[in-house]
């Protein structure tokens, strides 16, 4: 028997709440179909790629007194991509619905992510196994991975494994790339009359997998509350010591939902939003000037301290650096087979690259500190992108702000002190005990995923809406994965991808920050959220994100 903390013992007892339609029982459901759907972009190409699953309707469920017990069915589940709080509860909800529908049903968990279904590595879930992981963080129940499902050979192997286990449904729990896998697998199974359905579940702490039907991806609530607690602690420390500027980089490569949400929860002095930087075409110099002016103005008030939130993906949103990185990727692709470059020392490599970059891009690269140049030359991720989490943007900004303030000091425009600390909060939020919201939401997503399978649907993403209301009033259903698709160039080829949801600069969430940022910059309106609360009044334990509250409130005012 493994050792459990007191909190884990109590969390294992927590019974997640379900929407009213699902709470009546998995066999007492009626499917309601909406209108046919279209993809977000590149309609003809996406329709051709997914000709067998394209254009299906959005669906919802409602209770019915008529009870229909389905035939026995086996289901496989895959955890895919990076961890997010609540993944275990998706599996628990799926398992409970499956067993409630027919006790003879079996749930298989494929080990190590999508590779598990290709290699035939799996476990069969039991009551005991599931009960050990209810309401816990992490993906360790079966592990995760980032294997892409896209080749004929992979699909054939997956089909054989499913046939061997008599599996008729697969649930893939993951983010945008993982659910692209789900769509491709669903299309292939239908095209080949495999008789196997595929359902996705929306996961990513980055919060960029959402639309009108997917209000929030699971894990975002817990992760942002975890980061907000840590940043609240730093805010209090800064306000106590009054001698450090803390530059904090936060998860969020492609969108700044995490940074924006955490800012609304804690009210730091500076919050950079990548989408705003790109929209306003802010240069690196302008960003440094903006930060330096706030540091200087606070110093005039005797405040040589503060907090600045930096999005992980910021560097790729700065126009001149974005251009340089694009050019750099092309140059590195050519130099990959250049023996002279590969055998050169670091400084020579820098010189070779500068000579091959376009004029302005070369100047930008040359202007960067050595540390950042080194990080820009690191191996690319599986999609051919710079690994921005390894680029220490917070250190770059500290160095450049420090240089700017020295210049201002010589000119008599800065009389304060600047001493900085840097932090990067990423992994700290990915495997926390899920908040009550994420515990409930994830359980509902898993339970709902089986409902979609039960009604014979495939190529759908499990959807639970109306999430700022109490759980009983949530609306369960499904959205076709093709509805979220467009094309994107990767490794020189156009691939189907799910459109990422960026921060909307005319939306209610950013407007809330914009309205308050000048006051927060100078006045210390810090909020200290404290740790996530699991027990106590609903007003403390069941609150959701500011993002969800503001977005759903805005929807109500436009109805």
Which tens digit of pLDDT belongs to each residue from 373-427?
A: 998 888 766 656 677 778 899 999 999 999 999 999 999 999 999 999 999 999 9
**Range in 74-78, 386-390, 445-449, 538-542 with the lowest mean pLDDT:** 386-390
Q: Among all chains, which residue has been given the structure tokens 């690994």?
A: 387
**Range in 98-112, 126-140, 328-342, 502-516 with the lowest mean pLDDT:** 328-342
CB atoms inside a 10 Å sphere around CB 302 = 8
**Residues pairing with 480 in the sheet:** 460
Dihedral through CA 352, CA 355, CA 359, CA 360, nearest 10? 20
Q: Which residues of 275-289 are buried (b: 16+ CB within 10 A; e: fewer)?
A: bbbbeeebebeebbb
Say yes or no: 119 and 225 in one domain: no
The whole-chain average pLDDT of the chain stands at 94
Q: Among all chains, which residue has been given the structure tokens 């959807």?
A: 463
The share of the chain scoring above pLDDT 70, in percent, equals 97
Query: What average pLDDT does the segment 32-49 reach?
Result: 94
Structure tokens at 345: 């020392």
Say yes or no: 149 and 249 in one domain: no
223, 224, 173, 219: which is closest to 199 by C-alpha?
Answer: 173
Is it the case that residue 250 has pLDDT exceeding 60? yes
CATH of the domain at 403: 3.40.50.460
Structure tokens at 423: 């932090």
Say yes or no: 194 and 280 in one domain: no
Q: Is 363 part of a structural domain of the chain?
A: yes
Do the Cβ atoms of 171 and 77 come closer than 8 Å?
Answer: yes
Q: Is 326 part of a structural domain of the chain?
A: yes
Q: Which residues of 206-238 are buried (b: 16+ CB within 10 A; e: fewer)?
A: bbbbbbebbbbbbbbbbbbbbbbbbbbebbeeb
H-helix segments, 242-270: 257-266
CB atoms inside a 10 Å sphere around CB 370 = 10
pLDDT tier at 265 (50, 70, 90 boundaries)?
A: very high
DSSP SS3 for 21:
helix
Dihedral through CA 129, CA 134, CA 140, CA 143, nearest 10? 80
* Backbone dihedral angles phi then psi of residue 134, each to the nearest 5 degrees: -60, 135
Say yes or no: 133 and 282 in one domain: no
Strands (E), 166-305: 167-174, 197-202, 245-250, 270-271
d(CA 427, CA 84): 10
Question: In the β-sheet with 245-250, what is the strand arrangement from edge to edge?
Answer: 270-271, 306-311, 245-250, 420-425
Say yes or no: 334 and 415 in one domain: yes
228, 254, 201: which is closest to 86 by C-alpha?
Answer: 201
Say yes or no: 191 and 255 in one domain: no
Q: Is 511 part of a structural domain of the chain?
A: yes
Q: Cα–chain-centroid distance for residue 331?
A: 30
Reported as a single tens digit per residue, the pLDDT across 277-287 is 999 999 999 99
Q: Apex CA 295: angle with CA 294 and CA 296, to 5°? A: 90
* Backbone dihedral angles phi then psi of residue 5, each to the nearest 5 degrees: -75, 160
Q: Is 458 part of a structural domain of the chain?
A: yes
Say yes or no: 366 and 461 in one domain: no
Is it the case that residue 19 has pLDDT exceeding 80? yes
Helix (H) or strand (E) holding 327: helix 319-335
Reported as a single tens digit per residue, the pLDDT across 134-189 is 999 999 999 999 999 989 999 999 999 999 999 999 999 999 999 999 999 999 99
The share of the chain scoring above pLDDT 90, in percent, equals 86
Q: Is 93 part of a structural domain of the chain?
A: yes
Query: What average pLDDT does the segment 202-220 reach?
Result: 95
DSSP SS3 for 461:
strand
pLDDT given at position 330:
86
Q: Is 154 part of a structural domain of the chain?
A: yes
Do the Cβ atoms of 196 and 73 come closer than 8 Å?
Answer: no
200, 207, 232, 213: which is closest to 84 by C-alpha?
Answer: 207
> How much is the CA Rg of the chain, to the nearest whole Å?
25
Query: What average pLDDT does the segment 331-346 reach?
Result: 89
pLDDT given at position 2:
65
Structure tokens at 88: 């275990």
Listed as own residue / partner, the contacts of 148-153 with beta carbons closer than 8 Å and 24 or more positions apart are 148/114, 148/177, 148/181, 148/382, 149/114, 149/117, 149/118, 149/181, 149/184, 149/185, 150/181, 150/184
Say yes or no: 170 and 204 in one domain: yes
Sign of the alpha-carbon torsion through 450, 455, 460, 461? negative
Say yes or no: 183 and 279 in one domain: no
Query: What average pLDDT does the segment 249-276 reach?
Result: 96
Say yes or no: 127 and 236 in one domain: no
d(CA 91, CA 445): 9
pTM of the model: 0.94
**Residues pairing with 109 in the sheet:** 77, 123
pLDDT given at position 420:
98
Query: What average pLDDT does the segment 97-126 reach?
Result: 97
Is it the case that residue 67 has pLDDT exceeding 90? no
pLDDT tier at 1 (50, 70, 90 boundaries)?
A: very low
Q: Which domain holds residue 146?
A: 69-215+434-473
Q: Is 210 part of a structural domain of the chain?
A: yes
Say yes or no: 277 and 404 in one domain: yes
Longest CA–CA separation in the chain, Å: 81
Domain count, the chain: 2
State the catalytic residues. 206
Say yes or no: 332 and 245 in one domain: yes
CATH of the domain at 79: 3.40.50.450
pLDDT given at position 390:
80
Q: Is 201 part of a structural domain of the chain?
A: yes
């Amino acid at each position: 028997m493994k050792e459990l903390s007191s909190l884990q013992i109590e969390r294992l007892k927590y019974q997640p709440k379900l929407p009213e339609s699902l709470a009546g029982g998995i066999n007492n459901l009626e499917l309601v179909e909406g209108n046919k759907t279209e993809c977000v972009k590149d309609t003809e190409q996406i329709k051709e790629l997914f000709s067998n699953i394209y254009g299906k309707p959005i669906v919802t469920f409602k209770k019915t007194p008529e009870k229909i017990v389905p035939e026995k069915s086996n289901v496989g589940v895959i955890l895919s991509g990076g961890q997010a709080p609540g993944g275990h509860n998706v599996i628990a909800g799926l398992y409970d619905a499956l067993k409630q529908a027919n006790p003879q049903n079996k749930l298989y968990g494929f080990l190590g992510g999508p590779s598990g279904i290709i290699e035939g590595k799996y476990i069969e879930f039991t009551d005991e196994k599931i009960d050990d992981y209810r309401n816990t963080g992490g993906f360790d129940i079966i592990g995760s991975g980032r294997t892409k499902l896209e080749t004929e050979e992979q699909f054939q192997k997956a089909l054989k494994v499913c046939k061997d286990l008599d599996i008729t449904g697969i649930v893939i729990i993951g983010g945008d790339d993982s659910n692209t896998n789900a769509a491709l697998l669903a299309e292939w199974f239908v095209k080949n009359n495999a008789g196997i359905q595929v359902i996705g579940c929306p996961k990513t702490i980055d919060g960029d997998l959402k639309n009108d039907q997917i209000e929030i991806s699971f894990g975002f609530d817990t992760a942002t509350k975890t980061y907000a607690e840590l940043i609240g602690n730093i805010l209090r420390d800064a306000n106590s010591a009054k001698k450090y500027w803390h530059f904090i980089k936060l998860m969020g490569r492609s969108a700044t939902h995490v940074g924006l949400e955490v800012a609304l929860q804690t009210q730091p002095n500076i919050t950079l939003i990548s989408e705003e930087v790109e929209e306003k075409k802010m240069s690196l110099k302008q960003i440094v000037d903006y930060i330096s002016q706030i540091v200087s103005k606070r110093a005039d008030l005797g405040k040589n301290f503060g907090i600045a939130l930096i999005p992980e993906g910021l560097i790729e949103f700065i126009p001149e650096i974005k251009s340089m990185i694009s050019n750099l990727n092309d140059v590195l692709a050519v130099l990959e087979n250049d023996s002279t470059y590969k055998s050169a020392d670091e400084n020579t490599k820098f010189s070779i690259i500068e000579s091959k970059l376009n004029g302005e891009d070369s100047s930008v690269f040359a202007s960067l500190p050595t540390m950042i140049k080194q990080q820009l030359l690191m191996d690319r991720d599986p999609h051919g992108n710079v690994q921005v989490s390894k680029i220490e943007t917070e250190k770059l900004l500290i160095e450049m702000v420090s240089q700017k303030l020295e210049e201002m000091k010589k000119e008599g425009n800065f009389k304060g002190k600047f001493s900085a600390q840097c932090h990067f909060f990423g992994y700290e939020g990915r495997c926390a005990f899920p908040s009550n919201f994420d515990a409930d939401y994830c359980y509902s997503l898993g339970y709902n995923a089986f409902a979609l399978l039960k009604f014979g649907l495939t190529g759908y993403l499990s959807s639970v809406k109306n999430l700022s209301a109490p759980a009983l009033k949530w609306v369960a259903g499904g959205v076709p994965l093709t509805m979220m698709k467009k094309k994107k160039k990767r490794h020189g080829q156009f691939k189907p991808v799910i459109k990422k949801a960026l921060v909307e600069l005319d939306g209610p969430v950013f407007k809330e920050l914009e309205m308050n940022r000048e006051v927060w910059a100078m006045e210390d309106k810090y909020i200290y959220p404290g740790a996530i609360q699991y027990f106590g009044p609903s007003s403390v334990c069941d609150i959701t994100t500011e993002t969800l509250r503001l977005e759903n409130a805005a929807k109500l005012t436009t109805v």
